Structure 1
Amino acid sequence: MASPNQQYDAIVTPYDYVRGSTIALIERLDVCTILQPLISGADVLELACGSGFYTYDLVARGSRSVVAVDISAHMLDKAQEMGRSMGIKTGVTFIQSDCVIPDRYEGGPFDVVFGAWLLNYAPDHEGLINMFRTVALNLKDGGTFVSVTLPPSSNPIESLNAEASARPEPDGSGYLNYKHIKNVDYGIFFGVHAETPFGKLYFECYHLTQDIIEEAAMEAGLEGRVEWRKTNIPDSFFEKNPPGGATSREMETYLTVPAYGILIITK
């Protein structure tokens, strides 16, 4: 698999297009609802910030400070460009770094650590532990880690097959289609592809089992309460022509086959 840096440097514009899909907008609402009571007046660390999809929501919803980290220089450039276009000049510090390598970031410890689509790049148990060590090193005692990732599952290949069956090509889940590449210890390695007006999108990641994710978090020092939530669709999105272009058929599938999970852990 290409490194996350190599993968995302090449696909910034198609990636941003896909993040405007209906299910991505639903994910954003879901996440912001969870984060809102946690981030008012808080110091927040955002891991795998990408092109800033969530970064400025963290600012707008009352955080005291945001440190946003990503491995991709191109993604960070895009995130900073977004801030300039919004007229936001303060409140966010960007750092280029690999979240898989445990490290303490300037500005910590933090009240909240947030990471969207981070854990799915851990190839194995050890990779998960290292990601969670980064979280544990930077999170205050009593602080909260919130992460968007793949739906929690004891059988990742079954989860992927259900996704492909419920939301087949070409539309998939918000334009994204998953294809199994191989089995790995505790899960699967798979490719994600989409066709967009700005070119093809392709990247690779992992879906590891729920129990190995929770075990790794505990081994890394996150020993507090663990909670999982799954895709939550607001009633307004079942109305005709929801924002983002999803069909009514696609919307109905999310009721039985979730597109994402949200992991919440208290340190």
Structure 2
Amino acid sequence: MQVLYVFAHPEPRSLNGALKDHAIDHLRRAGHAVDVSDLYAMDWKARLDAADSTGPAAGRFDPAQASKLAYENGWQSADIAAEQDKLRRADAVIFQFPLWWFSMPAIMKGWFERVYAYGFAYGVGEHSDQRWGDRYGEGNLAGKRAMLIVTTGGWESHYSARGINGPIDDVLFPIQHGMLHYPGFDVLPPFLLYRAGRMDEARFAAERAALDQRLDTLFTATPIPFRRQNGGDYDIPALTLRDAIAPGAHGFAAHVADPAADVAT
């Protein structure tokens, strides 16, 4: 199978760098083909701006409209087009990064902003009273899998249900649901490594072994059961959960299917 590995850490000799090298080697030994986008090594341009289009200059810069025109007319800068090609041929994508200020490093956020062009990752499909575009489980990236590998300096308890930082599922929800499920990915549970700054050889060996198990099930593990926008759980065009779906539930967790909490309609 074809895997795209998108990596964001500025130091190749870091814990993240060692994990990345190990993961890529493990995937290749398992017979997978791996494309690697090492964003710092590539000196990836994080800023979305008018220079992302090689087309005729417009007046006021409208990011969405400029992205749409560039994608439709073949005006995208070469680096954007190359990453989109990697996404098209990938069966699965792994995004690895350290959790900095409750999100991914800016360079990786810039990868999403630039590569996710209008017409490629959003602005796709019919908008009507029955459908609101091909998104949240549908779209051009449907049928592909995605998984996060995330390191954090905090303890696991800090990211527990009552932890000071909030539950890790909530912290990662905008990424997993909004940036991955939105354009169609089936999103696997993340691989999480806590207390990254307190690592010894014995623990690192155990973490590598745990990561190997996750990589070995990359194409068989059950994805997070995010609800599909056009699957019947949401009223359209309001895009709110129907009253019969998870009654009384609120927040991020309500958008993860739980048959025991849903009532028959």
Instruction: Identify which of structures 1 and 2 has the higher relative contact order when contacts are C-alpha pairs closer than 8 Å and 6+ apart.
Output: 1
TM-score strictly above 0.5: no
Q: Which has the larger radius of gyration?
A: 2
Q: TM-score range by the shorter chain?
A: under 0.3
